[in-house]
Amino acid sequence: MLLDLSGVLSEQHTELIQDADIDMTGFQTGYGSFPILKKTPVSIRVTHMKERRFRITGSGRVTLEIPCDRCLEPVETELVLDFVKNIDLSVPDGGQTEELDETNYIDGYTLDVDELIRGEILTGWPMKILCSEDCKGICNVCGQNLNQGTCDCEDTGLDPRMSVIRDVFKNFKEV
Ligand SMILES: [Zn+2]
Ligand SMILES: [Zn+2]
């Protein structure tokens, strides 16, 4: 959703308060794409402090589907969004100092809510995603989900990525 900031931008000491919808249905990163299963509108408050200085606060929730780090089964993961941004629109993008935030989600008089939330999802991305604390993961050799059953492979202790490389190698030799 795009928010029209022209009112609050044109006058100091004014405020814009709005519940904004998140339009995106998934979250794309260089690592993959993650469906958004649930989302609340984001309560956004834009405050024009003085001159070209603004504060943007927001809160909401999004639930993403992220694969378990060990077994790759999808896990419903809720992220709580709760942020405060201090921005100065007289400073060109890239010239932000430590106390100021990026403004890549503001273009002229328009605030791109999805772009803003995309940054917040990245910031709040969990360090670790597990379907359960005692997830047994997948067999490094045959790929069996060890939560669902066992296999007869010997535990070679190999990294699963190694078996991918081994398969590539095997296919290469068969050509
Ligand atoms: Zn798991
Ligand atoms: Zn196995």
Tens digits of residue pLDDT in 16-37: 999 999 999 999 888 789 999 9
pLDDT at 119 > cutoff 60: yes
- Do residues 116 and 65 both lie within one domain? yes
Looking at residue 175, its pLDDT comes to 45
Read off the pLDDT band of 151 (50, 70, 90).
very high
pTM of the model: 0.79
Query: Are 173 and 106 found together in one domain?
Result: no
Residues 6+ apart with CB under 8 A from 158: 140, 141
CA of 170 to the centre of ligand 1 (A): 28
> Are 27 and 110 within one domain?
yes
Q: Count structural domains, the chain.
A: 2
Residue 131 in any domain: the answer is no
**What are the residues whose beta carbon lies below 5 Å from ligand 2 (ion)?**
139, 141-142, 144, 151, 153
Region 47-70: mean pLDDT is 95
What local confidence, expressed as pLDDT, does residue 112 receive? Answer: 96
My answer on whether 65 and 42 are in the same domain is yes
C-alpha dihedral (126, 129, 134, 135), degrees to nearest 10: -170
CA of 67 to the centre of ligand 1 (A): 8
Same domain? 149 vs 100: no
In terms of residue numbers, what domain contains 163? 136-175
* 22 contacts 119 by C-beta, under 8 angstroms: no
Contact 102, 75 (CB under 8 A): no
